[in-house]
Structure 1
């Protein structure tokens, strides 16, 4: 499969750069001296233009279940594998595709930093899966969507921590050990085995955050007549989920069902926080929320 169309680059408001190539889209920005930012953007565009064909070359392996024997060659594919393998070792089914957006963001950010070592802060946003860099003495605040379905999150039923910690803005500083923020759920671009409206994860890099968000969102689930599912392959013959049932619609749930689903997802998130695989997670379903792990303060400046 060849993608012959050229990569498209366009300037957006707020000094952001949008790069698009085939099905891939990223929005990025760097802060620093003008020559550093220019070098970072040129490097990002050059690296982004080569990624898609690299991934297509290894697509069969990328769509297969990750295991100890999995071998991948391309740098982005290896980032995908590294992001997923720790969770596969926990006995969870996952393919490298669970980390594709985060791994692309990580790779483009790495290219920016290599070309412009004087950058003060930077981010690469691949459809909501975001790789971030913050130099010492700097902070970067990301705008967060509280609920992709559009209903306001309510604090009722929270297991721990204020819902506001992950609502509105999320401020990251140097030394926090957070290089990636990712969100997944049944409203996202990919199929979900669970019913979460959204799961946002903080981790050491975007590939890990992307994989963890997908897998925690899968765990937010409950058996209920309100959940309608179909085999992934019936919706997309090329899906890496094969015949596994994915959620296609969700009717009203009662309070016990909402609590049970969030409890299941929160248990997975807390276990992975304790294991050091992720820093924190926010889980949302039907206006209820759970917070696991890190509590991150919100600040009003440097919004991305």
Structure 2
């Protein structure tokens, strides 16, 4: 099935093509926004075929000693975003959603568009003109099916144009992608959505601890063509002792601080079984519901 475009409420646009599912919001001059939508739509239909053409290479672990061999612009974004994390196992697929968002948001970075957000399953690329700000609701527990509709279960982030953050991404074991860790969610703020996506994967993997109650299976058993191969991914996390959760969050926080010190992220929120850790808190403006 080919790409599909539709209109949503509140002036939002929906682009969908295979696994890529974008919700686009833009505010500004109507004619300029419609032109941006048209250009974004024309580009959108090209992205999935380009990625499929390079899929075997995109599923290979990155070797930081070699130069990027990817051809397509989205594939190159993916590789570049993941390369700083290649000390540990990572493939460019860790940044696929954020990279698609970054590719599309570029069409809205034009005079007449005050602000825009490209949301690809929770990995968000932003455009903000000077003086503008964006309020983003983050669901800390992505395993809770009611959290997205309950204001009391959301964090609210205000990102100001003066802040260089233009990407937000969330990862965790209950999410769409596999995780090696036990975090319910890790939300990252970074310069781009691709960088946030890769970092969220890395930090979520680090929120981890060996415990017999945690159920893990080889990724290949769950998805035969997974880029994770036979690595054990988390499939169930029952209630764990508080000390175990504390240890897992300690490990994830250490990773997040390492990335913060390396200027790879601006901030992080780590959530595991109701416990929350924040790193780089000054980059957030948390608002009540």
TM-score by length of 2: 0.93
Give the 3-state SS of the residue equivalent to 1:229 in structure 2: strand
- The aligned residue for residue 163 of structure 1 is none
- The aligned residue for residue 72 of structure 2 is 74
| Aligned with 1:171 (options 152, 155, 158) | 158
1:280-299 aligned within 5 A = 280-295=267-282, 296-298=284-286
In the TM superposition, residue 92 of structure 1 has moved relative to its aligned partner by 1.4
| Aligned with 2:5 (options 2, 9, 16) | 9
C-alpha contact (below 8 Å) 2:123/2:168 kept by paired residues:
yes
1:149-228 aligned within 5 A = 149-150=143-144, 167-228=154-215
- Extract unaligned runs of 5+ from structure 1: 154-165
In the TM superposition, residue 173 of structure 1 has moved relative to its aligned partner by 0.8
- The aligned residue for residue 150 of structure 2 is none
Deviations 1:170-221 (A, max 9, x none): 1111121101000000111011100100000000000000010011000001
State the distance in 2 between where 1:44 and 1:171 align: 26
In the TM superposition, residue 43 of structure 1 has moved relative to its aligned partner by 1.2
- The aligned residue for residue 277 of structure 1 is 264
Alignment: residue pair count: 282
State the distance in 1 between where 2:98 and 2:280 align: 20
In the TM superposition, residue 298 of structure 1 has moved relative to its aligned partner by 3.5
Q: Alignment RMSD, CA only?
A: 1.9
In the TM superposition, residue 297 of structure 1 has moved relative to its aligned partner by 1.0
- Extract unaligned runs of 5+ from structure 2: 148-152
C-alpha contact (below 8 Å) 1:217/1:265 kept by paired residues:
yes
Give the 3-state SS of the residue equivalent to 1:109 in structure 2: helix
State the distance in 2 between where 1:64 and 1:204 align: 25
Indicate the structure whose relative CO is greater, using CA pairs within 8 Å and at least 6 residues apart.
1
State the distance in 2 between where 1:28 and 1:151 align: 22
Give the 3-state SS of the residue equivalent to 1:36 in structure 2: helix
In the TM superposition, residue 225 of structure 1 has moved relative to its aligned partner by 1.2
